[in-house]
């Protein structure tokens, strides 16, 4: 009689252990360095309120930050990401050189804007970021941007480069 009770207890214990292992979410190893990937840059021609020619450019890229910029210690309104862009123009020799035509080179993203809440063990943040730029003066025939992000913990992502952006 005791043998059957012990066997039943062992069977129940093994089944419970297997179910517990299956139910647990796998803990992934985190990389504190954010990763970005260029998706697209679109350029649309339009007119401002005075009828002047203006170009609207939209830079779209995805990001992933495994440690989520350690938001558990982030006070309300603190910066999560700084986005750094470096503009380049194509010179007459068809080489790209760094330029200062685009004076806005640093964008900040705040946690209050993103409405972020992280639940569970895996704290990965990921999504798409779109930056809109307006060009009232055509900077050059062709431009491109290098860009990267820096998270709250000062971890710099990889550097991505847009495709060629032609204005003519």
pLDDT tens track for 82-131: 888 888 888 888 888 888 776 666 676 655 545 555 555 666 777 788 88
pLDDT tens track for 151-168: 877 888 999 999 988 876
Contact 43, 145 (CB under 8 A): no
**Amino acid 40: pLDDT:** 94
pLDDT tens track for 26-77: 665 677 888 899 999 999 998 888 998 888 888 889 888 877 655 444 554 4
**Amino acid 72: pLDDT:** 46
Largest interatomic CA distance in the chain: 95
Mean pLDDT of the chain: 77
Domain chopping of the chain, boundaries: 30-166
Q: What's the CA gap between 61 and 58, in Å, rounded?
A: 10
Cut 0.75: pTM above it: no
Q: Which CATH architecture has domain 30-166?
A: Sandwich (2.60)
């Amino acid at each position: 009689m005791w043998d059957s009770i012990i066997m039943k207890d062992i069977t129940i214990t093994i089944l419970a252990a297997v179910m517990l292992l299956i139910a647990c979410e796998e803990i992934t190893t985190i990389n504190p360095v954010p990763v970005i990937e260029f998706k697209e840059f679109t350029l649309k021609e339009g007119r401002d309120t005075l009828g002047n020619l203006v170009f609207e450019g939209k830079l779209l890229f995805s990001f992933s930050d495994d440690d989520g910029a350690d938001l558990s210690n982030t006070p309300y309104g603190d910066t999560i990401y700084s986005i750094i862009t470096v503009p380049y123009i194509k010179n007459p020799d068809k080489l790209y050189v760094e330029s200062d035509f685009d004076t806005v080179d640093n964008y900040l993203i705040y946690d209050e804007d993103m409405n972020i809440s992280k639940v569970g063990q895996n704290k990965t943040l990921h999504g798409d970021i779109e930056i809109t730029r307006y060009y009232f003066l055509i900077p050059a025939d062709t431009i491109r941007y290098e860009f990267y992000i820096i998270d709250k913990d000062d971890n710099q992502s990889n550097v991505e480069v847009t495709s060629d952006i032609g204005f003519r």
